[in-house]
Structure 1
Amino acid sequence: MSTTENRGQFGSKLGFILSAAGSAVGLGNIWKFPGKAYNCGGGAFLLVYIIMVALIGTTVMMAEFTVGRNAHKNALGSFRAISQKWGFAGGLGVLTGFIILCYYCQVGGWTMKYIYAYIAEAKMVYADPTAYFLGMLGANGFPLQGAVIFPLIFLFLTAFILSHGTAGIEKMSKVLMPLLFVLLIGLMIRSCTLPGADAGLKYMLNVDFSTINSNAILVALGQAFFSLSLGMGIMVTYASYLSDEDNLISNTGIVCVLDTLVALFAGFMIIPAVFATGIDPGMGGGFAFATLAGVFEAIPGGTLFGLLFYFLLFFAAVTSSTSIMEGTIAFLIEEKGLKRNHALLGTSVVVFIIGVFYTLSQVYMNIKGIWVSKNGIEYPIFGDFLEYLTDRLLLPLGALFSVICVGWVWSPEKSVEEATSHGRFKFSLAPVYKFMVKIVDPIAIGVIIVAGLVFGMSIS
């Protein structure tokens, strides 16, 4: 096993689990999963989703964990340790994470803006939620708060945490992840006790197998895959900070269970509330920052409910942004020889500049090359292009290369040897894992790529 000197290391199993879970638990769990569950059959979708996480998500994650700990290097270095020709698989993950970080830090800033809004100007939000959201993005002029001030604060916080290396990530995760679960459970209980929420609970708990079709299965597969932060090199990088004494088998299971619980809790937080208020559960930024304002206004104590919700989003955003940036920082330190603080400064500057254009492209920059006209309606293409590029192409490609490399180049047997710490830990499902990572996972990820690119299906 190759090693790299002076690398950080997680101080405890709990620290690693909470850090990895924090990476997996992101905005997509909270504002995408409920909408997909609502549109794809409720309880039936939950069942399919859990199966997809258990079969596909866990095996891809374990493959990435074993690659990272085998080499104790950044994502590119870890794959290159397996084969000189396959370093590009890790490099693609680093690039993908960097692109995602550019718009993720902007959205993280929006969560901080809305925390402020629900403390100081909730009446302005309720007066016209959509106008308030679009105003933050630049509908009424340059979006100083939405593009610069709050995203810059969020980015600084992310960089500050990472300036302390793995110790910073671990300390942050040990504080924010328990708070995230407490907030999520509290909000879920409040939502489920609203008048009329019983219809939403029934919908989420009733399994109607007639609603399970190819589309629901594909959407569940895509959600399970993307919600676990796979294909970005993050899990490879995090696992590289582990020792042989850490049990990758149990760690994989725990991280996947925690991520799934957050998605399920989010579903039971949002769906009963929208049934109680009659508001359609959409997905994405417009839903989280505009549509939900109608829900908060309509329920008793809604302003406090909304404030806690945006704290929840903020916690999910910052635990993910730190992990995404760490993948880039580890690459720059180990491959380019930069000092950590220099790598953080350079990365933050570039991320911020590109991120500003992401926010501007939402509604403000009506210039050629930023907007495209279709059927008389203009759409921003810069921000949409970044999300399309990562969600439908780069992320699944990165994961596809990962499982092909593990299944066909390195071999599942060596991956199992690493997962068990060379026989120290028992892995009774090793034959199943070998078959999944070599045969099933590449096919499943290939289906995601084809569905997203060829058929244009929204699976992420």
Structure 2
Amino acid sequence: MASQSGPPLDAPAREQWGSRLGFILAAAGSAIGLGNIWRFPYLAGEGGGGAFVLVYLFCILGIGMPYLFAELSLGRNSQRNPVGAIEAIVGKRSAWLIVGGFCVLAGFIILSYYSVIAGWAVGYAVKDIIAPGMGFEAFVASPTLVITLLAAFLGVTLLVVLGGVEQGIERWSKILLPVLLVLILLVIFRSVTLEGAGEGISFYLMPDFSGLTTEIIIAALGQAFFTLSLGMGAMITYGSYLSKKENIATSGIYVVVFNTVIALMAGFMIFPAIFAMGVDPATGPALVFVVLPEVFSQMPLGGLVGVTFFILLSIAALTSSISLLEVVVSYFVDERSWSRKKSVLIIGGITFLMAIPSALSQGAVPSLSAGGIFGPETGFLGFMDYYVGSLGLALGAFFLSIFIGWVWGADEAAQEMMQGSNMSAQVLSVWMFVIRYIIPLVVLVIIIGYITGTL
């Protein structure tokens, strides 16, 4: 049973979003990242195009969105970070605090290797200047290059979060998201106007269910959670800055729609281009950094398109890294009474040090790379991504859904959602059933998929 609800009586005034639009853009920015523009297209390519897209849409609307409402409700109710939110419900001695602690630790770890990949995107945007003619394998194996790019990307992330919720995260989200949208539209226009692009559009939009497998369905479920930044406490943290007057359901729907539209637009950037150039869409994770540069090099105005694409990929990565850092910063500000500046600088320094093994795991240090101590097929970065960024987040989402649905109580969560909302009792009843029974079961299926090697 809940021991209390809401923030402590002696808690300092909580920062809040300056507007609904600011929250929507910041939360959508958290969700819109490498998962949408790098991971979604290659999964769709491996999953047969249109069939994967339809399954993904069903998963994100039927499973991801209701769970998003739950995390936002928990954050706003407590006005605290993931650890504080759970503590506000069950007290300081509960084992459930481990779940909140895992969210904070996951934010540390994911931000470390995520910044490495984001650094690659930044580097590829200016590759013709800093490393002309260098192939991807040589590029990521250069320690000086990748560590410099990591430091640059992480430094920008720190500067944004240093500004606080309204003046830092919200202000920059209002700039970065519209710029991202314009750049995506420019790349789409060039892609769909290529000769032979129609075949790629058909592959992407016309579902062929003959190749649909259990593995593809589980992958779509996993992507729905991955792309919405669920299971890591980011939406709990962002929800904690929401006003009690805000309509959680309406704002959450906008976030899901914005995120999903960007993911779908990523497909329109990529599939028409690769089909026009005769490239196999099922090329896996190498699609963005290995295949697409080759595709761009073969198309008219390809150099400009390539630079534009990697700039927008860098922006998308930045909007997500901001939320990852904010989860950790919020914990130290709330629970340890650190200033925001102290939190950002110390956490940023530790994250940089944590990122170095990932940066060196693509050939620079053989023992950290594929074929080394982390197995023949993956290096340190891939190991961390699988066990923390994939399996770990699924476990986080599973335990958080149990906590919200059964420990805090779906009825209490529903009461929080009703503040600032006009949701009907029937809709809330359906949501309560989904959060209690459907979501834990679905996430458990994802976990089994990871453990058994299906994903």
TM (norm. structure 1) is 0.92
CA contact (8 A) 2:184 2:265 kept: yes
| Cα separation, 1, equivalents of 2:349 and 2:318 | 17
Structure 1 range deviating more: 354-363 or 69-78: 354-363
- Aligned match of 1:41: 48
Answering whether residue 399 of structure 2 is matched by residue 401 of structure 1, we say yes
| Alpha carbons 2:363, 2:369 under 8 Å: kept | no
Instruction: State the 1:183 CA deviation.
Output: 1.2
Instruction: Report the AA paired with residue 41 of structure 1.
Output: G
The answer as to 2:450 corresponding to 1:456 is no
Counterpart code for 1:2: P
Match of 1:101 in 2: 111
Tell me the SS of whatever aligns to 2:289.
helix
Per-residue CA shift, 1:28-74, capped at 9, x if unaligned? 11111112212222212211111101111001111100000000011
User: 1:42 is aligned with what amino acid?
Assistant: G
Please give the residue correspondences for 1:19-58 in structure 2 after superposition, counting only pairs within 5 Å. 19-58=26-65
Q: How many residues align?
A: 442
Give me the whole-angstrom Cα distance separating, in 1, the residues matched to 2:212 and 2:205.
14
State yes or no: 1:137 paired with 2:158.
no
**Aligned 8 A contact 2:72 2:235 in 1:** yes
- The aligned amino acid for 1:104 is Y
How far, CA to CA, are the matches of 1:397 and 1:188 in structure 2?
A: 36
Whole-angstrom CA distance in 2 between matches of 1:225 and 1:11: 27
Query: 2:341: which partner in 1?
Result: 341
Where 1:244 maps in the other structure, the secondary structure is: coil
* 1:390-439 Cα distance to aligned partner (Å, 9 max, x none): 13321011111111011111111111111111765556521221111100
- What residue in structure 2 maps to residue 128 of structure 1? none
Unmatched 5+ stretches in structure 1: 126-130
Between the aligned partners of 2:287 and 2:211, the Cα distance in structure 1 is 24
Q: Is the 8 A contact 1:420 1:427 kept in 2?
A: no
Kept in 2, the 8 Å contact 1:417–1:423? The answer is no
Within the alignment, does 1:2 sit opposite 2:7 as a pair? yes
Supply the AA of the counterpart residue of 2:57: I
> What does residue range 276-355 of structure 1 map to in structure 2 within 5 Å?
276-281=276-281, 282-284=283-285, 286-355=286-355
Shift of 1:335: 1.3
Determine helix, strand or coil for the equivalent of 1:361. coil
Q: Does 1:203 align with 2:203?
A: yes
With over 3 angstroms needed to count, the CA separation of the structure-2 counterparts of 1:371 and 1:36, relative to structure 1, is: closer
For residues 219 and 165 of structure 1, the distance between their equivalents in structure 2, rounded to whole angstroms, comes to 35
Q: Is the 8 A contact 2:76 2:239 kept in 1?
A: yes
Distance 1:62 1:18 in 2: 16
Amino acid at match of 2:164: G
Kept after mapping to 1: 8 A contact 2:82/2:101: yes
Matched position secondary structure for 2:445: helix
Contact 2:106–2:389, Cα closer than 8 Å, also in 1: no
1:39-438 maps to which residues of 2 (within 5 A)?
Answer: 39-84=46-91, 85=94, 86-118=96-128, 120=129, 124-125=132-133, 132-138=135-141, 142-147=142-147, 149-167=148-166, 168-281=168-281, 282-284=283-285, 286-367=286-367, 372=371, 378-421=376-419, 426=424, 429-438=427-436
CA distance in 2, matches of 1:159, 1:442: 34
AA in 2 matched with 1:165: G
- Looking at structure 2, the residues matched to 265 and 111 of structure 1 have their Cα atoms a distance apart, in angstroms, of 18
Instruction: List structure 1 segments (4+ residues) > 6 angstroms apart after TM superposition.
Output: none
Q: Are the equivalent residues in 2 in contact too, given 1:66–1:239 (CA < 8 A)?
A: yes
* 1:316-371 superposed Cα distances (whole Å, 9 cap, x missing partner): 0110001100000010111122211111111111111121211111111123x666
Residue number in structure 2 paired with 1:441: 439
Shift, 1:94, TM fit: 1.1
1:217-260 deviations in whole A, cap 9, x for unaligned?
Answer: 11111111111100110000000001111100011111111111
CA contact (8 A) 1:57 1:225 kept: yes
Rounded to whole Å, the distance in 1 between the matches of 2:345 and 2:107 is: 17
In structure 2, the CA distance between the partners of 1:18 and 1:423, relative to structure 1 (3 Å rule), is: closer
Query: C-alpha root-mean-square deviation of aligned residues, in Å?
Result: 1.9
User: Are the equivalent residues in 1 in contact too, given 2:49–2:207 (CA < 8 A)?
Assistant: yes
- Cα separation, 2, equivalents of 1:428 and 1:298: 55
Distance 1:370 1:184, change over 3 A: closer
Cα distance between partner residues in 1 of 2:33 and 2:355:
18
* Stretches of structure 2 lacking an aligned partner (at least 5 in a row): 1-5
3-state DSSP class of the match of 1:289?
Answer: coil
Percent of aligned pairs with the same amino acid: 39
In structure 2, C-alpha distance between the alignment counterparts of 1:92 and 1:182, rounded to whole Å: 36
1:384 maps to amino acid: G
Question: What is the alpha-carbon distance in structure 2 between the residues aligned to residue 277 and residue 2 of structure 1?
Answer: 56
Q: Distance in 2 between matches of 1:159 and 1:392?
A: 24
Contact 1:363 1:380 in 2 (8 A): no
Of the structure 1 ranges 16-25 and 90-99, higher mean CA displacement relative to structure 2 is found in 90-99
Verify the 8 A CA contact 1:191 1:197 in the aligned structure 2.
yes
Whole-angstrom CA distance in 2 between matches of 1:341 and 1:171: 18
Matched, 1:16 2:23: yes
Q: Is the 8 A contact 1:78 1:87 kept in 2?
A: no
Deviations along 1:280-326, one digit per CA (max 9) or x if unpaired, are: 33343x43222211110111000000010011111101100011000
**Cα distance, 1:6 vs. partner?**
3.2
Distance in 1, Cα, partners of 2:355 & 2:408:
37
Question: How many Å separate the matches in 1 of 2:392 and 2:140?
Answer: 26
What letter corresponds to residue 135 of structure 2 in structure 1? Y
Query: Higher mean Cα deviation, 152-161 or 417-426?
Result: 417-426
Mean CA deviation greater in 305-314 or 385-394: 385-394
CA contact (8 A) 2:248 2:421 kept: no
